[in-house]
Amino acid sequence: MAVERKINKGNYIIAAILTIMVFVLGLSLGFLFDNLRLNYSETINKESEVNYLSLQFQYLYLTTLQNTNSSCAVLHSAIEKSTKDLSESLQDFITFKENTKLNKKEYELIGRRYILDNLKYWLLARKAKEECNLDVVNVLYFYSEEHCQICPNQGVVLTYFKKQFGDSLLVFPIDVDYEEKEPIISILLDQYDIREYPTLIIEDRKHSGLIPNTEFKELICNSFQDEKEICKKD
């Protein structure tokens, strides 16, 4: 009996050691993958910053030219591509942030950078529209992941019509959950008197609450200078 108890005790020790090893390995892999995701997000942030500087320079250059028609079309395409890339990388970032338990502070900083990048592109798109007379519609989308259950529904509507209108519709999402960390959000909320979410700012006009497909389409179509083919369809 004494020998049997010794063997059982040894098995428990081995099992405990294996459990600790598996736990440490899992934790190490968690750190590794989380850091890889974090590095990827930081790289995308840096790429977006360089792209913005390039677009800013293109805009400044175009404003010095006499004939900007062809150049403005190129700038419009560049802005559309940059905002599309930023939107796609933002979705990756949101997924990474939801899965992390380790780098909360770092992801918070990157999240603020995404918001600032969106606002920089929004301002540049507004300037380019004025200077180049581009027939596009700019939309600021204020939403909350933590305090707005219907915001994902608005996101679906925006995604659908973004595919329909293509580069004629530019959407810039702003996560208001970062308000305490990023002062510019408070400034915008006060400027547009935003008190509920979701809220859309369509060409400087505020529309609060969930906007369904039919109403949103009408708002966008009425914001274009020339009637789009999709707007002719019921």
Which has the higher per-residue pLDDT, 106 or 26?
A: 106
Query: What are the sequence ranges of the domains in the chain?
Result: 1-133, 135-234
- Reported as a pLDDT band with limits 50, 70 and 90, residue 169 is very high
Residue 68 structure tokens: 């900007």
Strand runs (DSSP E) across 75-191, as ranges? 137-143, 169-175
Residue 184: half-sphere exposure toward Cβ, Cα within 13 Å: 12
pLDDT, mean of residues 80-107: 68
- pLDDT for residue 2: 47
206-225: average pLDDT: 95
CA dist 38 and 209 (Å) reads 33
- Residue 189 pLDDT exceeds 60: yes
Of the two residues 33 and 132, the one the predictor is more confident about is 132
Q: Report the C-alpha gap between 87 and 115 in whole angstroms.
A: 11
Q: Worst-scoring range by mean pLDDT, 118-122, 182-186, 205-209?
A: 118-122
Q: How far is CA 171 from CA 11, 83, 122, in A?
A: 61, 8, 8
What was the pLDDT predicted at 214?
Answer: 93
More confident residue, 214 or 40: 214
Q: Do domains 1-133 and 135-234 have the same CATH topology?
A: no
**Per-residue pLDDT reduced to its tens digit, 30-63:** 555 555 555 655 666 666 666 666 666 666 666 6
* 35, 62 Cβ separation under 8 angstroms: no
Burial 169-193 (b: 16+ CB within 10 A, else e): bbbbbbbbbbbeebeebeebbeebe
List residues bridging with 200 in a β-sheet: 141, 207
Query: CATH for 135-234?
Result: 3.40.30.10
Predicted local distance difference test score (pLDDT) of residue 60: 65
- In the chain, DSSP finds a helix count (H) and a strand count (E) of 6, 4
Q: Is the peptide bond before 198 cis (omega within 30 degrees of 0)?
A: yes
* pLDDT score, position 102: 55
- Model confidence at 184: pLDDT above 90: yes
Q: What's the pLDDT score for residue 143?
A: 95
Bridge partners (DSSP) listed for residue 174: 142
Q: Which of 92-106, 123-137, 200-214 has the lowest mean pLDDT?
A: 92-106
Amino acid at 148: C
Q: Which of these, 101, 118, 213, lies nearest to 175 by C-alpha position?
A: 118
Contact, 158 vs 141, CB < 8 A? Answer: yes
Helix 183-191 crosses helix 104-132 at what angle (to 10 degrees)?
50
pLDDT at residue 1 greater than cutoff 50? no
Q: At residue 144, does pLDDT exceed 90?
A: yes
For residue 217, give the H/E element and its range.
Answer: helix 213-221
CATH architecture designation of domain 1-133: Up-down Bundle (1.20)
